[in-house]
Chain A
């Protein structure tokens, strides 16, 4: 028995190859974010031009600059946190705290803009289908993010996919700030709401799938 066991051990050990470690989650998140931003901006500029004077507004109006910076900061934090969640035991608490705080500051700026806008709201640069664009453009980055997460080891699929959806939804939402018309009501309804809707849909979808799979597994085992 001992000889057989030793032989088995020997056979198992002879085929061993070193485990190829995945790239660090933070690096992957930043690469994903960079590529997603480039993709979304490219497709948006291909469909239509930038809002006239958008870059000038970004430089001249501190309230608008702060709004954009907080949104971008939130996007970076949530992207890195989403990717880190796919590695067991990775610290995400501070990133999430910072991400949600900056996200709240971003939405807070838009809400304050309902009464005190940084500059006069106008229809300049309006896109007819911006709400659909916000959804459609976020799908490829979302699918890519979920694929990247699955290549690691996800312990909490619902939470992980929800943050991936938030990050993927934020990319077109923030791009719309400089591409589409500036009106806080329009932004909240057609640029920010799709982010929440996408995250809710993906989170709910994952939850349903997770609820169904254990039952299927149990049934399979019993039969």
Chain B
């Protein structure tokens, strides 16, 4: 259930398993706070949501580097989650290319090798993916 919840919002991230594991540990640690007279879902997803945010913060490559003094990113965390949720709505092929190049920071060449396609295909997929993201973003914006 947690995996499906996170996958629907974040797509096929590499760190999905880390998130699920962190959530399971958190659920175990918080089990004494669950009141069986109350609904399970708010309790469960409050923990999942907060633990996922913690994992995202920790996984952020721009933070916590010992040797390089890099300023912290200014991207709002809620915005980051929104973007991830929108990425989840892309088709699998477009999502892979966008996540690998724009989120994981791989070059077009590295991404092409990893997915076993040409660099041109990656460029086209990223372009289409970003265009689709823009369309989805505009649809959701008031």
> Which residues of A are at the interface with B, using a C-beta cutoff of 8 A?
19-22, 24, 86-89, 91, 152-153, 155-156, 214-215, 217-219, 222
Contact = CB atoms under 8 A, between A and B. Distances in A.
A216 B47 CA distance: 23
Contacts of A86: 33
Interface stretch (B9-17, B37-45, B85-93): B37-45
Contact of B47 (A21, A88, A215): A88
B31 interface: yes
A214 B33 contact: no
B32 A89 contact: no
Contacts, number: 55
Given A21-B35, A153-B30, 18 more contacts: A19-B32, A24-B35, A86-B33, A88-B43, A89-B46, A89-B47, A91-B42, A152-B30, A152-B33, A153-B26, A153-B29, A155-B47, A214-B57, A214-B58, A215-B64, A218-B63, A219-B64, A222-B66
Contacts of B30: 88, 152-153
Contact of A153 (B33, B44, B57, B64): B33
B50 interface: yes
A156 B38 CA distance: 21
A22 B58 CA distance: 30
Residue from the set A86, A91, A153 with the largest chain B CB neighbour count within 10 Å:
A153
A16 to B, nearest CB: 12
Main secondary structure, interface of B, reads: helix
Contacts of A214: 57-58, 63-64
| The 8 residue pairs across chains A and B that have the minimum distance between CB atoms | A89-B42, A153-B30, A218-B64, A89-B43, A89-B46, A88-B46, A155-B50, A87-B33
B43 A219 contact: no
Nearest to A87: B33
Interface in B95-129: none
12 contacts: A19-B31, A22-B32, A22-B33, A86-B33, A88-B43, A89-B42, A89-B46, A153-B26, A153-B29, A153-B33, A155-B46, A156-B50
A21 B32 contact: yes
Contact of B66 (A155, A217, A219): A219
Contacts of A155: 46-47, 50
Nearest to A219: B66
Contacts of B64: 214-215, 218-219
A200 B21 CA distance: 35
